[in-house]
Amino acid sequence: MKIDVSSYKEPKKSKSFKLDMNFSTKSLKRFSDKHKEDFYREFSTLIRSGVDFNQALAILAKQQKSEFIRSIYADINTAVVKGKSLNEAIKSHKHFSPYEYYSVKIGEDTRRLPEIFDQLQMFFSRKIKMKRQIVSVLAYPVFVLLITFAVLYFMLNYVVPMFASVFQQFGKELPEITKFVVRVSNNFNVIALVFVVLLLMIVVGHKLLKGNHSYENIKARILLKIPFFGNLVKKIQLAKFCQSLSLLLSAKTPLITALELTEKMISFYPLKQSIVQIKHDVLKGDTLSHSMEKHSFFTPKIVSLTHIGEQINELDKMYDGLAKQYNDEIDHSTKLIGTILEPLMIIIIGGIVGFIMVAMYSPIFNLSKVIEN
């Protein structure tokens, strides 16, 4: 008996499986700031050792465990071998920002590429450090708020109803504080649902309105008005501004070009708009320090040091020093916030639990007084 295999077709794979696989692989395709820090540091070391771009990229690709990262290095290497400049090869990948490939272009034009790589590595190192500091500051309050919600859920759904059933047997008028807690307990699930819905609406609204000029402006203004946190946000943005200008100006980038690239890198709306206006003023012949003085976002310290830097022609060193100062202040502020938030959160939890317990035991104390009399 012969079997005809010519008409045999391979069974089709499940589409849902393909979608799941694509989703999982896309989630892994991320060229993070840490990858960039390693890329610029190791690339600089290899170039200083006399290794050409082709060999350097091949060596870097072999070191990577991620197939996605290796493919990025391989694509850049292929483009360089075909005759493209390094900045053009980097520009073809969406994972690199204009700030990076324009900096690389300046390094190639001025033959100071290792120095540019060192400064880019330092830039991403500072950026990573800043992110970790912000996460460390927010992690504890978020954790405590979740614990607080869990405590409230338990007390208002189990403890308070138990006391309420006992109070009904007394047949006495309850204190206002107890009535309030019982009402909250009876409607807690509705209140929690409304809270979750509002939170989801805020998150979805933020996603939809992100990039809208009016929304970004309002959001930034609100952030800046929050006590203590607003000042920290301002310092973080000013540190980014100083780091960017220091890197670009040290590479002998023209001031207008440096401002344009810094504007592309900054996403905080008030600072971004200030840079746009400063660039226009400088193009008209105004000095950088005088144009910065017109905007309240820049502190008197930045304006005065910018003026000095312009006079002695060392703006890059001035901004490098300012960036270090602001980073030190950010370190101190984040540690201070963590120190303050820890006891503050304990007081908040204790106050909520204490309030509920006082409300529940108040009728019992009143009843005991009536019995004694």
- For residue 155, give the DSSP letter: I
Question: Which pLDDT score is estimated for 369?
Answer: 59
Q: Are residues 225 and 354 in the same domain?
A: yes
**Whether the Cβ atoms of residue 116 and residue 36 lie closer than 8 Å to each other:** no
- Identify whether 113 is part of a domain: no
Of 109, 119, 134, residue with least CA distance to 41:
119
Q: Are residues 130 and 92 in the same domain?
A: no
Instruction: Report how many domains make up the chain.
Output: 2
Report d(CA 1, CA 235) in Å as an integer. 83
The pLDDT tens digits of the residues spanning 273-292 come to 999 999 999 999 899 999 99
- For residue 313, give the DSSP letter: T
- Identify whether 75 is part of a domain: yes
Q: Are residues 90 and 130 in the same domain?
A: no
Continuous segment of H or E residues that includes residue 347: helix 315-372
Give the CATH number for residue 225. 1.20.81.30
- Label residue 109 exposed, middle or buried (CB < 10 Å: 0-12, 13-18, 19+): middle
Question: Which pLDDT score is estimated for 372?
Answer: 52
Question: Which pLDDT score is estimated for 368?
Answer: 61
The pLDDT tens digits of the residues spanning 296-310 come to 899 999 999 999 999
What is the 3 state secondary structure string of 212-223? Answer: CHHHHHHHHHHH
Listed ranges 118-127, 308-317, 325-334; the one with the highest mean pLDDT = 308-317
Provide the mean pLDDT of the chain: 81
Q: Are residues 209 and 338 in the same domain?
A: yes
Q: Are residues 133 and 277 in the same domain?
A: yes
Task: Give the range of the structural domain holding residue 351, as residue numbers without chain letter.
Answer: 126-373
The pLDDT tens digits of the residues spanning 185-199 come to 888 888 889 988 998
Q: Is the pLDDT of residue 25 over 60?
A: no
The pLDDT tens digits of the residues spanning 218-247 come to 888 888 888 888 888 898 889 889 988 887
Question: Which pLDDT score is estimated for 279?
Answer: 93
Counting other chains too, the contacts that 161-169 makes at CB distance below 8 Å and 24 or more residues apart are 161/185, 163/360, 167/363
Indicate the pTM of the whole model: 0.70
Question: Which pLDDT score is estimated for 22?
Answer: 43
Tokens of 257: 């070009």
| Cβ neighbours of residue 263 closer than 8 Å, sequence gap 6 or more | 272, 275, 276, 279
Q: Are residues 62 and 187 in the same domain?
A: no
Report d(CA 269, CA 149) in Å as an integer. 34
Q: Are residues 80 and 222 in the same domain?
A: no
Question: Which pLDDT score is estimated for 198?
Answer: 93
What are the DSSP calls for 184-251, one per residue?
A: HHHTHHHHHHHHHHHHHHHHHHHHHHTT-HHHHHHHHHHHHHSTTHHHHHHHHHHHHHHHHHHHHHHT
